[in-house]
Amino acid sequence: MTTKRKHWRLPRLMITGLALLAGIAALSFQIQPRATAEPPSGQWLAVQPSNLEHRIGLVGRIEPARTISISAPFGGNIANNFVEPGQRVIKGERLLSMDASELEVQVRDALSTLLKARRTVRELQDWEAGQEVSRARRALRSVQMGLDGNEQKLKDTRSLHERGIVARNELEELERQTQLQRLDLQAAEAELQAVLERGRGEYRQIAEMELANAEVKHAALSRQLASGDILAPFSGIVVQAPGISAEEAAKGPVQTGSRVSQGQPLFGLASIEGLRVIARVAELDVNQLKEGQPVDVTGDGFDGQHLQGKVMVVGGQALGGSVPGGSSQFEVVVSIPELDEAQMRQVRLGMSAKLSILTYHNPDALVVPSAAMRRAGDKWLLDYRSAPEHPVSVVEVEAGRSMPDGLEVFGLEPGYVRVAN
């Protein structure tokens, strides 16, 4: 008996469905990216360039950029005092005038001495054609002519004496006269030489030095006379003269009619054309400050005025009075350039000022959360992709400054980074 096997036949529609599912599965497997599979956990955060600044805030006090002492230009009485301590003055404004009557006498005496010295030097420059040399030469010629006449007369008399016509005593008298005239000639020659020497060498050098001294003295007295009216060299505030003793300060400001000596300090002038701010910084922050860093300066008393300055000095030695074992303090000086008229009316000496010092600036900084970075030996790594649909790659970066929002990094392009949960 023949046994017949039964064959199970699937319906045609079911076979077709299974084939379609297998094809879709194969196609899906082929189009999946093979670079790096997306991490199973974490979220992707966009990272774009942003302006990054780091500032240090300090509090200081407004001081003048410079303070000079106004001194009496010469000794005498004060004719008029036009200012008082604390008064604001502008450049070129008259501050004080001196009584110059005594100085005018000295100037005239100096001018008289100068004119005499000039005349003496002028005479020495043309000395050989001057009156004294001409007089000495005339005297020499006169003696020479007299001697020539006597010598001729002596010659004739000697000839007559030899012939017995003239007595011997007459010849001897004539010889004595001739000898005296020869001595007079020598004296006249010496006198002429001495007169000529007076216009040369040391005599002329002395006269030129006396002229130079007379010119310097007259010029100095003339400058003092011209400075009788004291003008403000720059815009500023009238203050007490710096460096004066407590005894002098107790006398108060100078008054009209007061007697002063040359160089005596009268008052000080504190500049308001340029200011500076003196502040203190802790030792933890001092190494972040450098000369030339820009500074924003504001203050409660500035009435909205916003000033710009720069760090001028960073102290190299700790200030005295620090608490032993505590944080040391260092002085910082911020310079503020010339103010305009509106700023000068609002900003006053001694006001407190708030400083915002820019210590770091990166206009294209990339900051990523700390959770996006992981350590691998001595390297910092993070998961990165340039766009949401692009594959993931591991990027090595260099860490920069720590910020409240994360960490500044270098070596990364704008894109997306994965932040671990």
Neighbours of 110 (CB within 10 A): 19
Of the options 2.40.420, 1.10.8, 3.10.100, 3.30.450, the CATH number for the domain spanning 41-51+361-417: 2.40.420
Distances in whole angstroms, Cα of residue 337 to Cα of each of 90, 112, 295, 312, 347: 17, 49, 12, 11, 13
Q: Residue 33: which pLDDT band, with cuts at 50, 70 and 90? A: very low
- Against a cut of 0.85, is the pTM above it? no
List, in sequence order, every residue forming a beta bridge with 43; answer none if it has no partner: 419
What residues form DSSP beta bridges with 295?
A: 309, 357
Residue spans of the domains in the chain: they are 41-51+361-417, 106-219, 270-319+327-360
pLDDT tens digits, one per residue of 340-388: 777 877 888 888 999 999 998 999 998 999 888 888 888 999 999 989 8
Buried b or exposed e, range 316-341, using 16+ CB within 10 angstroms: eeeeeeeeeeeebbbbbbbbbeebee
Least confident of 5-14, 139-148, 212-221, 288-297: 5-14
The reply to whether domains 41-51+361-417 and 270-319+327-360 share a CATH topology is no
Indicate the pairing of strand 415-419 with strand 275-282: unpaired
Q: How far is CA 410 from the centre of its chain?
A: 40
Please tell me the predicted confidence (pLDDT) of residue 321: 65
Greater confidence (420 vs 324) lies with 420
Q: Give the residue among 55, 62, 65, 61 at the shortest CA–CA distance from 312.
A: 65
For residue 16, pLDDT over 70 is answered with no
Task: Find the mean pLDDT for residues 305-328.
Answer: 82
pLDDT in tens, 169-215: 888 888 888 889 889 888 888 888 887 777 777 888 888 899 999 99
Interval 146-156 mean pLDDT: 85
Q: What is the mean pLDDT of residues 394-418?
A: 89
Task: State yes or no: pLDDT of 22 exceeds 80.
Answer: no
CATH superfamily entry for domain 270-319+327-360:
Efflux pump adaptor protein, beta barrel domain (2.40.30.170)
Q: Please give the full DSSP string across 310-363, using - where no structure is assigned.
A: EEEEE-SSPPTTPPTTS--EEEEEEEE----HHHHHH--TT-EEEEEEEEEEEE
- Distance in angstroms (rounded) separating the CA atoms of residues 77 and 80: 9
